[in-house]
A = this chain, B = another copy of it.
Amino acid sequence: MDLETGLARLADVCVTVGVNVQPGQELIISAPLEASALVREVGRRAYQRGATLVTCLYDDPQLIVDHFVHGDDASLDAAADWMYRGTAEALTNGAARLYVVGPYPDLLNGIPPDKIVRLHKAMAQASGAESALTATSRVNWSTVPFATHSWARQVFPALGDEEALRSLWEAIFDVTLVSAADPSEAWSSHNRALNARRESLQARRFDALRFYDGTTDLTIGLVEGHRWLGGTVVAANGIEGMCNMPTEEVFTCPHRARTEGHVLFSRPLALAGTLVTSLRVEFREGRVVSAAADSGIETFEALIRSDEGASQLGEIGLVPNSSRIAQTGILFYNALFDENAATHLAFGQSYAACLTPADESGADAGHGGANQSSIHIDAMFGHAAMHVDGVSRDGHATPLMRHGDFVIDG
Q: Which residues of A line the B interface, CB within 8 A? A: 23-24, 26, 33, 36, 39-40, 43-44, 47-48, 50-58, 60, 62-63, 66-67, 69-72, 74-75, 78-80, 82-83, 85-87, 89-90, 93, 95
CA distance A63 to B57 in the complex (A): 12
Q: 24 A-B residue contacts at CB 8 Å? A: A24-B74, A26-B78, A33-B33, A33-B36, A33-B58, A39-B60, A40-B66, A43-B62, A43-B66, A47-B69, A47-B70, A47-B71, A47-B72, A51-B71, A52-B75, A53-B67, A54-B66, A54-B67, A56-B63, A57-B57, A82-B86, A82-B90, A82-B95, A86-B86
Closest residue of B by beta carbon distance from A90: B82
B40–A52 contact, CB under 8 A? no
B87–A82 contact, CB under 8 A? yes
Partner of A51, one of B23, B56, B75: B75
B63–A40 contact, CB under 8 A? yes
CA distance A43 to B75 in the complex (A): 13
A93–B82 contact, CB under 8 A? yes
Closest residue of B by beta carbon distance from A93: B82
Integer count of this chain's copies in the complex: 2
Q: List, in ascending order, chain B residues with CB within 8 A of A33's CB.
A: 33, 36, 58
Q: List, in ascending order, chain B residues with CB within 8 A of A23's CB.
A: 72
Q: Shortest distance in angstroms between A149's beta carbon and chain B's nearest beta carbon?
A: 15
Sample of 10 further A-B pairs with CB below 8 A, known A47-B72, A52-B71 = A40-B62, A47-B67, A47-B69, A50-B75, A51-B71, A52-B78, A53-B67, A53-B75, A57-B57, A82-B93
Q: Shortest distance in angstroms between A76's beta carbon and chain B's nearest beta carbon?
A: 9
Q: Shortest distance in angstroms between A125's beta carbon and chain B's nearest beta carbon?
A: 14
Q: List, in ascending order, chain B residues with CB within 8 A of A51's CB.
A: 71, 75
Closest residue of B by beta carbon distance from A71: B47
CA distance A58 to B83 in the complex (A): 13
A56–B60 contact, CB under 8 A? yes
CA distance A67 to B62 in the complex (A): 29
CA distance A53 to B50 in the complex (A): 36
B62–A50 contact, CB under 8 A? no
Q: Shortest distance in angstroms between A113's beta carbon and chain B's nearest beta carbon?
A: 20
A58–B55 contact, CB under 8 A? no
Q: List, in ascending order, chain B residues with CB within 8 A of A26's CB.
A: 78
